């Protein structure tokens, strides 16, 4: 029997602050509900039909009388609110301490060693917005050839270089050098290559970003599914988030549109296993830039694609739509927000039931393994019995 699960992570599409949000400065965050509140003519009818507006904590959207999918929300057990932590927990790995952050920049000893290994000085070494830092230091970078190093509220070591000054392949090499160095107490979750282009005053980031993540600390659902000789197709930055662990195929996409096209393509294939996709534009282009209008438009565009995804799926296939954290563009903060994530499930074999509040993101991974008849020693509690017809 061919059965695949299509797991689509809408990066940062949270649905309400978690009970401990005050510890993260995220009181009042509710990415979806707040966007709906302030956006005129905000229409996401297919997500609502699946049950999004019926999930506890979601407001400012009209309730669906007869949802066609299973719906609920999940709380995060791991400490933190970043992409890697969220995805790892979905896949069954819970972190008992957050990845390190560097609000004052990276230690001098670390930067000195990094400069020695790459053979050049660096610029920056401070928390900054990715667009602001290239506006501030782009001209100096072009003049000197020195890479721009910066971080954020997340556990990241980001390196920005102009594609005409440092070729992208060399930027990737520099990032790998940083990744090899950043271990132990300096073990950030991701080193991110941030290439940019353009002229002075008109610099812009290109789509050749690449993430260099730590390998998961334990086997994830991906390892168990792969070991069961099933296919696992990654879409978007999944290969980066899991450091290529547990994937049989991977497509690195350039934007949401590209990712959605690939999801639809995979939906039409018949195989046993998992499609694991991340659509990053919600977070990268709109959440971090507090672009409410752009975020709302991106949600509507994804919503429009849902009928094509479901129509392409096989009779035994299951679609799961979720998120990894929040990034509420309506709040003053430009950082991720500590929020519940939605769980929306659809398939001809799925009952339209209320899943309530799941106690961990890991319940998603455990359920996927259960659906695929894979015995996986991961965190989480399966809710397969609640949803299957």
Q: What angle do CA 190, 333, 335 make, to 5 degrees?
A: 10
Asked if residues 214 and 83 have their Cβ atoms less than 8 Å apart, the reply is no
Q: Are strands 318-322 and 341-346 parallel, antiparallel or unpaired?
A: antiparallel
228 and 188 within one domain: no
Asked if residues 248 and 232 have their Cβ atoms less than 8 Å apart, the reply is yes
- pLDDT digits 0-9 by tens, 37-71: 999 999 999 999 999 999 999 999 999 999 999 99
- Residue whose entry in the numeric block shows the structure tokens 């979806």: 32
Tell me the mean pLDDT in the region 319-334. Answer: 97
CATH at residue 346: 3.40.720.10
- The total of structural domains in the chain comes to 2
- Residue whose entry in the numeric block shows the structure tokens 């890479």: 147
Which segments of 236-352 are extended strands (E)?
249-251, 273-279, 318-322, 341-346
Whether residue 102 is contained in a domain is answered as no
How far is it, in rounded angstroms, from Cα 2 to Cα 12?
Answer: 31
Tell me the mean pLDDT in the region 10-34. Answer: 97
Whether residue 344 is contained in a domain is answered as yes
295 and 206 within one domain: no
- Residue whose entry in the numeric block shows the structure tokens 């050098």: 177
289 and 154 within one domain: no
Closest CA relative to residue 384, chosen from 359, 349, 357, 360: 349
Domain-terminating residue out of 181, 213, 245: 213
pLDDT confidence tier of residue 145, bands split at 50, 70 and 90: very high
**pLDDT surpassing 70 at residue 204:** yes
227 and 365 within one domain: yes
- pLDDT digits 0-9 by tens, 218-275: 999 999 999 999 999 999 999 989 999 999 999 989 899 999 999 999 999 999 999 9
Percent of the chain beyond pLDDT 70?
100
Whether residue 103 is contained in a domain is answered as no
Domain-terminating residue out of 193, 213, 233: 213
30 and 49 within one domain: yes
156 and 51 within one domain: no
CATH at residue 143: 3.30.70.1250
Whether residue 100 is contained in a domain is answered as no
pLDDT confidence tier of residue 283, bands split at 50, 70 and 90: very high
Which ranges of 162-204 would DSSP assign to H, the alpha helix?
A: 168-181
Mapping DSSP to helix (H, G, I), strand (E, B) and coil, where does residue 86 land? helix
Tell me the mean pLDDT in the region 340-353. Answer: 97
Domain-terminating residue out of 189, 213, 237: 213
Closest CA relative to residue 387, chosen from 76, 11, 12, 67: 67
- pLDDT digits 0-9 by tens, 149-171: 999 888 999 999 999 999 999 99
- pLDDT digits 0-9 by tens, 301-311: 999 999 999 99
Percent of the chain beyond pLDDT 90?
92
DSSP symbol at 274: E
**pLDDT surpassing 80 at residue 1:** no
How far is it, in rounded angstroms, from Cα 251 to Cα 275?
Answer: 11
How far is it, in rounded angstroms, from Cα 212 to Cα 189?
Answer: 8
Whether residue 130 is contained in a domain is answered as yes
pLDDT of residue 386: 97
Whether residue 281 is contained in a domain is answered as yes
Tell me the mean pLDDT in the region 80-98. Answer: 94
pLDDT of residue 97: 87
Whether residue 338 is contained in a domain is answered as yes
313 and 190 within one domain: no
258 and 356 within one domain: yes
360 and 221 within one domain: yes
**Which residues touch 7 (CB under 8 Å, ≥6 apart)?**
90, 274, 275, 276, 277, 320, 322, 364, 368
173 and 71 within one domain: no
pLDDT of residue 2: 86
Closest CA relative to residue 13, chosen from 297, 351, 282: 282
Return left, alpha or beta for 124; rule: phi > 0 is left, psi -120 to 50 is alpha, else beta. left
Asked if residues 6 and 266 have their Cβ atoms less than 8 Å apart, the reply is yes
119 and 88 within one domain: no
- pLDDT digits 0-9 by tens, 379-388: 999 999 999 9
Asked if residues 343 and 375 have their Cβ atoms less than 8 Å apart, the reply is no
227 and 150 within one domain: no
What is the residue range of 242's domain?
4-95+217-387
Whether residue 45 is contained in a domain is answered as yes
Please compute Rg for the chain using Cα positions.
Answer: 20
Paired residues of 345 in beta bridges: 70, 320
**pLDDT surpassing 80 at residue 140:** yes
């Amino acid at each position: 029997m061919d059965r695949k699960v299509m797991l689509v992570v809408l990066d940062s599409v949270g649905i309400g602050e978690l009970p401990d949000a005050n510890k993260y400065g995220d009181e009042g965050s509710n990415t979806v509900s707040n966007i709906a509140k302030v956006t005129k003519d905000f229409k996401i009818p297919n997500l609502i039909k699946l049950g999004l507006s019926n999930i506890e904590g979601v407001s400012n959207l009209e309730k669906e009388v007869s949802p066609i999918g299973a719906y609920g929300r999940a709380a995060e057990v791991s400490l933190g609110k970043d992409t890697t932590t969220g995805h790892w927990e979905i896949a069954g790995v819970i972190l008992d301490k957050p990845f390190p952050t560097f609000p004052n920049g990276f230690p001098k000893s670390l930067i000195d060693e990094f400069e020695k290994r790459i053979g050049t000085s660096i610029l920056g070494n401070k928390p900054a917005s990715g667009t602001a830092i290239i506006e501030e230091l782009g001209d100096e970078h072009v003049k000197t050839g020195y890479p721009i190093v910066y971080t954020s509220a997340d556990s990241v070591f980001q390196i920005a270089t102009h594609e005409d000054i440092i070729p992208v392949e060399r930027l990737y090499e520099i990032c790998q050098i940083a990744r090899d160095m950043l271990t132990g107490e300096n073990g950030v979750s991701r080193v991110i290559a941030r290439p940019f282009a353009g002229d002075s005053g008109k610099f812009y980031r290109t789509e050749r970003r690449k993430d260099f993540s730590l390998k998961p600390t334990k086997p994830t659902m991906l390892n168990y599914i792969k070991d069961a000789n099933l296919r696992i197709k990654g879409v978007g930055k999944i290969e980066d988030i899991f450091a290529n662990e547990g994937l049989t195929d991977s497509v690195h996409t350039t934007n949401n549109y590209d990712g959605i096209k690939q999801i639809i393509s995979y939906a039409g294939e018949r195989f046993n296993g998992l499609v694991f996709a991340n659509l990053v534009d919600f977070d990268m282009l709109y959440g971090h830039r507090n672009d409410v209008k752009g975020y709302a438009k991106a949600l509507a565009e994804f919503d429009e694609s849902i009928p094509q995804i479901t129509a392409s799926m096989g009779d035994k296939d299951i679609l799961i739509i979720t998120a990894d954290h929040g990034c509420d563009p309506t709040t003053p903060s430009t950082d991720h927000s500590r929020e519940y994530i939605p769980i929306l499930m659809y398939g001809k074999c799925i009952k339209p039931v209320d899943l309530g509040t799941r106690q961990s993101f890991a319940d998603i991974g455990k359920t996927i393994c259960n659906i695929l008849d894979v015995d996986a020693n991961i965190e989480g509690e399966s809710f397969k019995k609640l949803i299957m017809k």
